[in-house]
Amino acid sequence: MARERLSVVVTRRLPEAVETRLSELFDVALREDDTPMTRTELVAAVKSADVLVPTVTDTIDAGLMGQAGEQLRLIANYGAGVDHIDVSTARQRGILISNTPGVLTDDTADMTMALILAVTRRIPEGLSIMQKSEWTGWAPTALLGGRIGGRRLGILGMGRIGQAVARRARAFGMQVHYHNRRRLRPEVEDELEATYWDSLDQMVARMDVISVNCPSTPSTFHLMNARRLKLMKPSAVIVNTSRGEVIDENALTRMVRSGEIAGAGLDVYEHGINVNPRLRQLPNVVLLPHMGSATLEGRIEMGEKVIINIKTFEDGHRPPDQVVPSML
């Protein structure tokens, strides 16, 4: 007799190729429109599903898991970050968590370099002038930015993405520096031509560009707080393609407005879509709508990892990308 297929609930629209493959393999409930599930819808999902496939827009907390049915045994997250999931509570309830690490490394690193260039070369300002038909011709002093070759880049978080940023920065002629929870192996440092700083304060004070590439954890919340932002040189800029909570957004806004920091490029925000309105008004701040991982190739690869994690679990084995609290 054929084995009954797993019941899988997906909380957001995914690329068509991913949805098609999920439908072929599992008894899947797909999202009809591309909006986040309401709390009520999430409760219904965890009560009925064997496997939940959430995204970063879903809050999977202890209260939600407390309403889950006994059959829910895997939360196969569509994304690498799991700070929106109470992993410890899931573990206590015997619910496995998996994620999709590694597939977005290059995409996010590319976006980091794009933000560095956009801020330092004033690309959005130039684009705005062209779109408003305000360009009156070339001028020797118009929209002067700065070259990034020779500048010191300080990378905060030297994991997969941080190292990918370092490789790209070296190709642009930047000097690579980094602060990380653990120092890289000497051979990796040599390959990246990267200088390690044990003191984040000392690194921040000496860099021309700061790139935030660390995960969101209790220890990284407001790691770039008001005191640390004040250490930055007035000519320095900061970019963030990691998690918004790492930077004190209000403090950053004040300092950019006052000229204490030369500019910022942000793809993530401390309060999600509720971006500080004063930040939107600053010409030397580039704001993107969380596009760091937004490539079709990357999103399909994320889906493939989700499918492999579910299929491996269905076959009675540990998902290859299982998350445990010690990893966080």
- 93-141 pLDDT, tens digit per residue, is 999 999 999 999 999 999 999 999 999 999 999 999 999 999 999 999 9
Answer yes or no: is 313 within a domain.
Answer: yes
In the chain the first and final C-alpha atoms are separated, in Å, by 41
Q: How far apart are CA 222 and CA 252, in angstroms?
A: 11
Q: How far apart are CA 6 and CA 4, in angstroms?
A: 7
User: pLDDT for 151-169, tens place per residue?
Assistant: 999 999 999 999 999 999 9
Which CA distances in Å does 232 have to 125, 150, 156?
23, 18, 14
Looking at the structure, tell me whether residues 109 and 143 fall in a common domain. Answer: yes
Looking at the structure, tell me whether residues 19 and 65 fall in a common domain. Answer: yes
User: pLDDT for 185-201, tens place per residue?
Assistant: 999 999 999 999 999 99
HSE-up of 128 (CA within 13 Å, CB side)? Answer: 10
Looking at the structure, tell me whether residues 302 and 221 fall in a common domain. Answer: no
Q: Categorize the per-residue pLDDT at 324 as very low, low, confident or very high, splitting at 50, 70 and 90.
A: confident
Q: Categorize the per-residue pLDDT at 215 as very low, low, confident or very high, splitting at 50, 70 and 90.
A: confident
Residue 283 confidence (pLDDT): 93
Number of separate domains in the chain: 2
Looking at the structure, tell me whether residues 55 and 171 fall in a common domain. Answer: no
Looking at the structure, tell me whether residues 47 and 182 fall in a common domain. Answer: no
DSSP 281: T
Residue 1 confidence (pLDDT): 41
Looking at the structure, tell me whether residues 301 and 282 fall in a common domain. Answer: no
User: pLDDT for 248-270, tens place per residue?
Assistant: 999 999 999 999 999 999 999 99
Answer yes or no: is 2 within a domain.
Answer: no
Range of the domain at 64: 7-102+295-327
Answer yes or no: is 1 within a domain.
Answer: no
Q: What is the CATH number of the domain that holds 69?
A: 3.40.50.720
Query: Torsion over CA of 55, 31, 305 and 164, rounded to 10 degrees?
Result: -50
Going by C-alpha positions, the residue among 115, 142, 106, 107 that lies closest to residue 209 is: 115
Looking at the structure, tell me whether residues 301 and 274 fall in a common domain. Answer: no
Average pLDDT of span 143-147:
95
Looking at the structure, tell me whether residues 84 and 205 fall in a common domain. Answer: no
Q: How far apart are CA 7 and CA 308, in angstroms?
A: 15
203-225 burial: b if 16+ Cβ within 10 Å, else e = bbeebbbbbbbbbbeeebebbbe
Looking at the structure, tell me whether residues 143 and 253 fall in a common domain. Answer: yes
CA dihedral sign, ordered 149, 249, 81, 177: positive
Answer yes or no: is 250 within a domain.
Answer: yes
Tell me the two tokens of residue 152.
């010191």
Q: Categorize the per-residue pLDDT at 328 as very low, low, confident or very high, splitting at 50, 70 and 90.
A: very low
Looking at the structure, tell me whether residues 98 and 109 fall in a common domain. Answer: no
